Each structure stands twice: as C-alpha cells, then as structure tokens.
Amino acid sequence: MFDWMQLNRRKLFLLLLLTMPAAVVAGMVVFMPPLIVRESDPSLRTHIDLTTYKGRPFTGFAYEPWHGRWRLHKLMYFIGGRKTGIERHWYGSGNLWAEREYSQGLPNGEWRQWFESGNVKALAHYNKGQPGGEF
C-alpha cells in the first residue's frame, strides 16, 4: 500500500507530473498541471453530482489537512467535475481510515475502511454506483 504521508516535495512533483492531463498542441505534448485545491475552499462547490471550481467543472486534486497541519485527512481526484480514481481518508495519527474507488463520479470498485489499529472495519463493492457485495 502506498504511504501518502511519506511524500516529499520531489515525489509529490513527480506524482503530479504523471497524473497531469496532456494535450497535443502544434505537434508537441503540453502538460496541463492539475489544480490542487483545499476541499474547504469556498470556490470549490458540489452541486448534486458535479463539483465546480470558480463556476467551471473541476479537474484536479482536492485535499483537506488535519486541523490546519500539513498532515492529510482527505485526498481525492476529479476529472470534469466528477470523482475519479481512489479517494483516501486518514486518521489524525496518519493511519489510513478509508479508500473508496470512483468512476465518473459513481462508486465503482472496492470501498474499504479500517480501524485506527489497521484491522479491516468494513468492505463493500460497487458497480457503477450500485452496491454489489458485503458491507
């Protein structure tokens, strides 16, 4: 399992570079850096199933630190205003609390939750927003 708490600036830069959307402009690949926005930013808004930033569908990372410190509480990725990929939540201690998989804004794949001790608390499976496994 990847430990997000161990990221330093160089690793974070490489991670962001690898996840950047790219466009081909005049025969050259141009990387468009994703936005990185605090989830509590008032410009980041969720309207039913669409998340916008400054009125436009949001593409980028939304994060929330624990009580103002640079220790992550939550990290999620959006493409076109919809959650995509794995959303992660941590306890204040830095231990992983939950991982949730999304595809185009819908729960899709495994949702896992742990006790702070690291033991599994809950496991669920989703297929295009519909539950399909144990809870």
Q: Report if residue 15 sits inside a domain.
A: no
User: Which range in 26-35, 52-61, 64-73 is most confidently predicted, on average pLDDT?
Assistant: 52-61
* Contact yes or no for 113/96 (Cβ under 8 A): no
CA-atom Rg of the chain in angstroms:
16
Asked if residue 5 belongs to a domain, the reply is: no
pLDDT, tens digit (0-9, with 9 covering 90-100), for 75-123: 999 988 999 889 999 998 888 999 999 998 999 999 999 999 999 999 9
Contact 47, 35 (CB under 8 A): no
Give domain status of residue 64, yes or no. yes
Residue at 11 is within a domain: no
18: pLDDT strictly greater than 80: no
pTM: 0.71
Judge whether 23 lies within some domain.
no
Cα 122 to Cα 135: distance, rounded to the nearest angstrom: 6
The answer as to whether 27 is a domain residue is no
pLDDT at site 1: 45
Number of domains in the chain: 1
Domain of 113, in residue numbers: 35-131
Query: Under 8 Å CB-to-CB from 94, ≥6 apart: which residues?
Result: 5, 71
Phi, psi of 118 (to 5 degrees): 105, -10
Question: What mean pLDDT is predicted for residues 26-41?
Answer: 71
C-alpha torsion sign, points 21, 100, 74, 116: negative
Q: 29: pLDDT confidence band, cut at 50, 70 and 90?
A: low
